[in-house]
Amino acid sequence: MIAEMQIRNYSPRTIGSYVSSLIQVSQYYQLSPEHISLEQFKDYLTHRINEDKISNATINQAIGAWRILQCDILHRNWKAFQVKRPRIEKKIPRVLSQAQILSLLDTVSNLKHYALLSLAYATGMRRNEILHLQLKDIDSARNMILVSQGKGHKQRQIPIHNSTLGILREYYKKYRPAKFLFEGYKPGVPYSASSFRNILYKAAKRACITRKVTPHLLRHSFATHMLEKGLNLKRLQLLLGHNTMKTTSVYLHVADMSSANVPDLLNTDKDTQNGK
C-alpha cells in the first residue's frame, strides 16, 4: 500500500496518516484489514465518532485509506465497499486583526522566532511549507520565494518584500542554517512543528491574546488582510496555493470591505465615472 501511494506521489505525511488509519481499524477488530467487512468498517467509524468525537477530516482520511485498500490493493469493486463521505461543514475562518499580530510580533525578542513568525504572516505560507523552506528556495534578486513543498507537491512562487527579506538576512547572518531556512539544534534538520506552535502560543500569551493562536491562524489572517488591502481574489488564490477560487472566496465572509471603493452606478457625473 505504501508503494502504491508513493507511485501516486502522495506526501510522506499523507502516507503515514493513511497507514495509521488502517492500523487502528485493524487493531480494533484484531483482524487483518482485508478481512474487515464494510459493515465492520462503518461500525468502527460510528464508534470513533461517538466515543472519540473525531473530526470530519479524520473520517475522510480513514475513508480515503479504505478506498485505496479496497480498489488499488485488493482490486475490489468500490461500489461493494463504498462509504459516503460526511457533508463538509462550511466554517468561517477565525482571524486576528493586523494590530493584534503586530502586537504579538513586538513581544518576540528572539531573532529566530521573530523571523519565523514574521515570514509566516507576511507570506501566508502553510506551516509545513515554511518548515521545509530551503535556502535555495529564496530568490532575493527577484524578491521571490519558491514553495517547493506545497500541498499535493504543487509548486508556486510568492513575492517577498524587502522588509521581510531584511529580517531574514539579519537572521541568517546570526544563525547560519545549513540547508533549511529554519532548523533545530541539529544542522540540516528542519525546525519542528511543535516548536513553531509553542513560540506562537507564548507570543500570543505575552500579547494578551486570549484566543488560541496557531500557525494556520496566521495564514487566515494574511488572506483576510490582503483582501482588505485591495488584493483581488484570483491573485490571492495563487498566493495561497488553492486549487479553486471557491476555497479562497471564504475569506470574503471575514474581510472588512467597508472601506472598499464601491462605485455609485446612479451617478452620471463623468469625472466620478472615470475615477477622478
First to last CA, the chain: 63
Residues 103 and 239 in one domain: yes
Report H helices in 176-257. 193-206, 215-228, 233-240, 245-248
Distance from chain centroid for Cα 43 = 31
pTM for this structure?
Answer: 0.73
Residues 238 and 147 in one domain: yes
Tell me the C-alpha to C-alpha distance, in Å, between residue 96 and each of 178, 198, 210.
Answer: 33, 18, 11
Residues 29 and 111 in one domain: no
In this structure, is residue 268 part of a structural domain?
no
Q: Which of 55, 81, 107 is the last residue of a domain?
A: 81
Grid cell of 146 as nine digits: 519558491
Residues 39 and 109 in one domain: no
The CATH number of whichever domain residue 217 belongs to comes to: 1.10.443.10
Residues 125 and 229 in one domain: yes
Beta strands in 63-188 (DSSP E): 138-139, 144-147, 156-159
Residues 184 and 232 in one domain: yes
Residue 165: the pLDDT is 95
In this structure, is residue 178 part of a structural domain?
yes
Residue 260: the pLDDT is 60
Q: Which of 35, 54, 81 is the last residue of a domain?
A: 81
Residue 272: the pLDDT is 47
List beta partners, residue 134. Answer: 180
The CATH number of whichever domain residue 29 belongs to comes to: 1.10.150.130
Residue type at 266 in one-letter notation: L
Residue among 42, 187, 44, 166 at smallest CA distance from 115: 166
Residues 141 and 69 in one domain: no
Please identify which residue in the block is written with the cell numbers 534538520: 189
In this structure, is residue 271 part of a structural domain?
no
Grid cell of 251 as nine digits: 475569506
In this structure, is residue 89 part of a structural domain?
no
Instruction: Give the Cα separation of 261 and 229 in Å (integer).
Output: 11
Distance from chain centroid for Cα 71 = 29
Please identify which residue in the block is written with the cell numbers 530551503: 134
Residues 104 and 225 in one domain: yes
In this structure, is residue 23 part of a structural domain?
yes
In this structure, is residue 266 part of a structural domain?
no
- Positive or negative: CA dihedral 72, 78, 82, 88: positive
Tell me the C-alpha to C-alpha distance, in Å, between residue 81 and each of 25, 51, 70, 158, 185.
Answer: 15, 24, 7, 42, 47
Residues 165 and 235 in one domain: yes
Domain that holds residue 221: 98-253
Instruction: Give the Cα separation of 182 and 169 in Å (integer).
Output: 13
Tell me the C-alpha to C-alpha distance, in Å, between residue 177 and each of 24, 86, 135, 158, 187.
Answer: 38, 43, 8, 21, 7
CA atoms within 13 A on the CB side of 44: 24
Annotated catalytic residues are: 126, 151, 216, 219, 242, 251
In this structure, is residue 264 part of a structural domain?
no
Residue among 86, 124, 107 at smallest CA distance from 217: 124
Residue 152: the pLDDT is 65
Q: Which of 81, 112, 144 is the last residue of a domain?
A: 81
Residues 117 and 239 in one domain: yes
Residues 196 and 127 in one domain: yes
Is the separation of the CB atoms in 100 and 209 below 8 Å? yes
- Element at 182 (helix H, strand E): none
Residues 41 and 16 in one domain: yes
Domain count, the chain: 2
Residue 181: the pLDDT is 96
Residue 270: the pLDDT is 55
In this structure, is residue 240 part of a structural domain?
yes
Q: What is the pLDDT along the chain (276 residues), one digit of tens a residue?
A: 888 777 777 778 888 889 999 999 999 999 999 999 999 999 999 999 999 999 888 999 999 999 999 998 899 999 888 999 887 767 788 899 999 999 999 999 999 999 999 999 999 999 999 999 999 999 999 999 999 876 667 889 999 999 999 999 999 999 999 999 999 989 999 999 999 999 999 999 999 999 999 999 999 999 999 999 989 999 999 999 998 898 899 898 888 877 666 666 676 665 544 544
Instruction: Give the Cα separation of 242 and 235 in Å (integer).
Output: 11
